[in-house]
Amino acid sequence: MYALFAFVAGLVFGIGLLFSQMASPAKVLGFLDLAGRWDPSLAFVMVGAVCVAVIGFVLAGRRPTTLLGTPFFLPIAGEIDMRLVGGGLIFGIGWGLGGFCPGPGLVALGAGQAKAFVFVAAMLAGMLAFEGIEAARARSVTRAAQTDAPASE
Amino acid sequence: MAIDWTAFTPGSALAGGAIIGFAAAMFALFNGRIAGVSGIVGGLLRPASHDTAWRAAFIAGLIAAPIVYVAFAQLPPIIIDGGYPVLVLAGLLVGIGTRYGAGCTSGHGVCGLSRASPRSLVATVVFMAAGFATVFVTRHAIGG
């Protein structure tokens, strides 16, 4: 049941992306091109989405459990650090190059677009690279902690 | 700045946005989670991947969207101007960046702003600014 609701949420989300034409990179790039012939549509998509979503989050915040009786997994506010800003910068550059962000990439893939397939494959490779870098960092931190341990005694 | 009135589609943008917001609201109320696409996909690629079923189901819903859409209406055009090398580079950057930044347009943009998250507001301003700057460089500084 839980997975079924997740499927419907993904489906409705994708239909919204298609209807608003946000699954089309040319439309997104038209928004990002402030100095050219500017298409403000993306801003209207954001306004429409936030206006409706805010109702859902307010209602969710008033409940002890979800409508399915399961616990909430909504993130608690963290700090604003270099990872957040650096990650946003890298993502923004990639977004500006291709006009794709993750959701529209997957929707365009479902529409049978070969270029979307290539984008999604590269995106997955990028995410795997992140996991690899993080795992290597965790190992080196553990090693450093182990070599530091005798000195700190 | 000149607005492209022929390309501008405020009606379908607002309505499509409302559909996206509805999906995010549903996901919060029923699944108790943030409809952030990069986080949902990235969670499947973790070494000890957990919650595989709902993550895969959400992604399957996104991929199935155009297939369901064409059953009821004509699919809006999907125009991808970038060449394959550009899309590979774009995909790599989007993949790494969204994982370090812990979110993308859906998680930080739609859901985070709806929850008035300061982190998400900062992330959204940063990736939008980077997007504007990148398109300025590719279309006007070197591409113009």
The reply to whether B4 falls in a domain is no
User: What are the residues facing B132 on neighbouring strands?
Assistant: none
Domain contains B74: yes
* Angle made by CA atoms B124, B127, A46, in degrees to the nearest 5: 45
The tokens describing A124, both together, are: 């997955």
How many structural domains does chain B have? 1
Say whether A91 and B61 touch across the interface (CB within 8 A).
no
Stated length of chain A: 153
Domain extent for B49:
10-141
The domain ranges of chain A are: 2-151
- Report the 10 Å Cβ neighbour count for B81: 12
Give yes or no for residue A120 having a pLDDT over 50. yes
Tokens (6 digits) for A121: 């494959």
Task: Determine what percent of chain B is predicted with pLDDT higher than 70.
Answer: 98
A46-97 pLDDT tens trace: 999 999 999 999 999 999 999 999 999 998 878 999 999 999 999 999 999 9
Look up residue B2 and give its amino acid: A
Q: What is the ipTM of this complex?
A: 0.96
Higher pLDDT, A142 or A2: A2
* Nearest CA-CA partner of A103 in B4, B144, B42, B45: B42
pLDDT band at A150 (very low <50, low <70, confident <90, very high): low
pTM of the model: 0.94
Whether A35 and B136 lie within 8 Å, measured CB to CB: yes
The per-residue pLDDT for A139 is 87
A-proximal residues of B, 76-135, CB under 8 Å: 76-82, 84, 86-102, 104-106, 108-111, 113-115, 117-119, 122-124, 126-135
Is the pLDDT at A152 greater than 50? The verdict is: no
Dihedral of alpha carbons B46, B49, B51, B53, sign: positive
Alpha-carbon distance of A51 to B13, in angstroms, equals: 13
Q: Does B127 reside within a domain?
A: yes
Identify the three-state secondary structure at position A73. coil
CB pair distance less than 8 Å for B25 and A123: no
Q: Which residues contact A64 (CB under 8 A, 6 or more apart)?
A: none
Report helix, strand or coil for A38: strand
Residue B131 is predicted with a pLDDT of 98
B51 close to A (CB below 8 A): no
